[in-house]
Amino acid sequence: MKRLFICAALLLGALSASAQSKDGGISADMLGKIREGYAATPEQKAVKNALASTSIATLAINGDNLAMCDTHFSHRVKTVGITDQESSGRCWLFTGLNVLRAKMIDKYDLAGFEFSQNYNSFYDLLEKSNLFLQAIIDNRDLPLTDRKVDWLLKNPIGDGGQFTGVSNLIMKYGVVPKSAMPETYQSNNTSNMTMILKLKLREFALELRELKPAKAAERKVEMLTEIYRILVECLGVPPTEFEWARYNKQGELVSSKKYTPKSFYEEYIGEDLEKNYIMIMNDPSREYNKVYEIEYDRHVYDGENWLYINLPIERVKELAIASIKDNTAMYFSCDVGKFFDRKKGTLDLANFDYASLFNTSFPMDKKQRIQTFSSGSSHAMTLIAVDLDAEGKAKKWMVENSWGAASGYKGCVIMTDEWFEEYMFRVVVERKYVPEDILKLLEQKPIMLPAWDPMFAPEE
């Protein structure tokens, strides 16, 4: 009997192997076996019929989690107003400016205030153009097929970004009130403008690769002059001087004077963004307590590459809680598209039940999702609140978004702590909230990562 069983098992294995074609393709026998996976049971038919006319997200809504979560938070940063990035990829800039905006409103007792995102966007696109053109010059001896040149040509410019763009641009160009350089149609709807810029920059790149270094440097200035003209036509002329009147909450005039963008920043914010902020990452696919740097991941050629400390999630929470308790908002980024209920404005692993809908499971953890490109940071928001239990453990968090006041929960997004652990990636914390043992890690020589690493795509 035992011998018969072994022979039967060997025969079954042989039949399974023969179902595959020799080159690994789908043979007729394999297709037959695959088709057997759909038995047309009443349950399968019901799912198929529902999916024929309804979105997956709607059908996967978890009926046991329909109620809105508790919106009370034990600790919340004082903020006023909600911004709107419209149809642009400038979440990183809105988030960075919103952190500074909260400080300014609180410090100077303002009824409301907004920095001009368009002003810093203008110089961001000009600086990114220079970064690209200079990188082309620096790597002109490499073939077009080289991985670095290939990446540069695929990514000449875009309006996405990250915090080093905020810090480098503001320290170099300052800031202005929104009234000094308001939004335009093109600043709010950037796709066509960036398409034109990409086309010109790629055209310029081919020309620069054929020039000698001295001539290339001279020609680059002419190219940037043309880029500047296009930016002015799309976004307006960035002010070099302006007048601004400050009123308190009661509407009383406090001061009125003339500023430059840098003098305005110095008077109302005045901190060194490049030295005062530490970028913290939670990436379990890489070793913790190490410092990493991403090549060419910066906005300004003579600025800083993206540099961060990779920490376990509990240490990240520790820093974030300390900042919020001290009424200080933070730059925060995450994989916002996962389990996001847009109507309620909640990020909750229980929002959608995809496993039950498709009668399967999704067992990958955070590390595996990163390794297989299933998850990564996609959007930046301003972390402003945490709800702590009696033992000081986080139950939920809240961020101020930049999708307008009508989006989410009063323009904000609430996330459970479980979701935070799985899909939060980065937070930028003021140095004073970072313990000495973590600051000491910055003494390490950073591990350089390539610009094309998918974990470091621009946040939009």
Instruction: Give CA 337 to chain center in angstroms.
Output: 11
Closest CA to 405 of 54, 50, 81: 81
- The CA-atom distances, in angstroms, between 409 and each of 158, 235, 413 are 29, 31, 6
What is the end-to-end Cα distance of the chain in Å, rounded?
Answer: 65
Closest CA to 397 of 378, 375, 380, 412: 412
- The CA-atom distances, in angstroms, between 29 and each of 10, 151, 160 are 18, 42, 48
Closest CA to 167 of 100, 114, 242, 101: 100
For residue 227, the SS3 value is helix
Say how far apart CA 96 and CA 91 lie, in whole Å.
8
Please, are residues 384 and 398 in contact by the beta-carbon 8 Å criterion?
A: yes
Element housing 418 (H / E)? helix 417-423
Pairing of strands 412-416, 346-347: parallel
Please, are residues 285 and 312 in contact by the beta-carbon 8 Å criterion?
A: no
Query: What is 293-345 written as a DSSP string?
Result: EETT--SSTTS--EEEEE--HHHHHHHHHHHHHTT--EEEEE-TTTTEETTTT
Residues with catalytic roles: 91, 379, 401
Phi and psi (nearest 5°) for 353? -115, 75
DSSP state of 165: H
Closest CA to 455 of 319, 334, 363: 334
Residue 244, judged by CB atoms within 10 A of its CB (0-12, 13-18, 19+), counts as: middle
Give the contacts of 86 (CB within 8 A, at least 6 positions apart).
Answer: 183, 188, 189
Give the contacts of 335 (CB within 8 A, at least 6 positions apart).
Answer: 375, 376, 377, 378, 379, 423, 425
Say how far apart CA 93 and CA 310 lie, in whole Å.
23
